[in-house]
Amino acid sequence: MEWTQSETIALASLTCTTCHGSGQRVMRDGSSCPCNCVLRAVFRACYARFRYCIFRERNVSRATLEQTHMGGRRITWGRKDEEYLADFYLVSRRSLGHMEWRVFCYHYLLGADWKLCAKRLGLDRGTFFHVVYRLQHRLGRVFKELQPYALFPIDEYFQGRTHNTAEEGGPIKVVPFRKGSLSRRLQVPIRKAA
């Protein structure tokens, strides 16, 4: 995926010593890639929306009806908050290594501070924060470059249109729910901050 400067300049940190606020850094071969400050900003934006969806009132969430890009009567139903929670959790789980996943669970999902995490994982402060920055870079890139539906930009995830794979004029397959499947809820291991 091609990152343009118009996408990265808004997310770049003005105090970044690598890109100096431009959001792009030039590699040795002359190509450009997004700066790590941009990737961290993407991760922080996605994580902030994740926390918003977690702590939102359960009765506020509702199923929404969306038109597909094909037009006509093609529509889809979805619960965007729950879908985002599941996508954020599962994409993070699949993208991180063992140590990064443990730090992610303790620090971001369970809300432990760095001292408790470092003690629990047997890491010193420097190593802990290197792991945190590495997982923020990795997840920021994955959230932006995820195909076919990226988690970032968040407004496109929540208000964007979905693509229907059924051919024009072809029947849409309806899959019935199993009895009792609607009563189960995704249990994400996270606790509220004090």
Number of domains in the chain: 1
Partnered with residue 25 across adjacent β-strands are 33
Residue 173 in domain? no
Evaluate whether 75 touches 174 at the Cβ level (below 8 Å): no
Residue 92 in domain? yes
| Residue numbers of the domain that contains 74 | 5-159
Residue 126 in domain? yes
From the CB of residue 106, how many other CB atoms can be counted at a distance below 10 Å?
Answer: 19
Q: What is the pLDDT of residue 121?
A: 95
Residue 184 in domain? no
Residue 182 in domain? no
Q: Is the peptide bond before 148 cis (omega within 30 degrees of 0)?
A: yes
Residue 121 in domain? yes
Residue 41 in domain? yes
**Is it the case that residue 12 has pLDDT exceeding 90?**
yes
What digits encode the pLDDT tens for the residues 93-122? 999 999 999 999 999 999 999 999 999 999
Residue 179 in domain? no
pTM score, whole prediction: 0.76
Q: How far apart are CA 89 and CA 71, in angstroms?
A: 31
**Is it the case that residue 164 has pLDDT exceeding 50?**
no
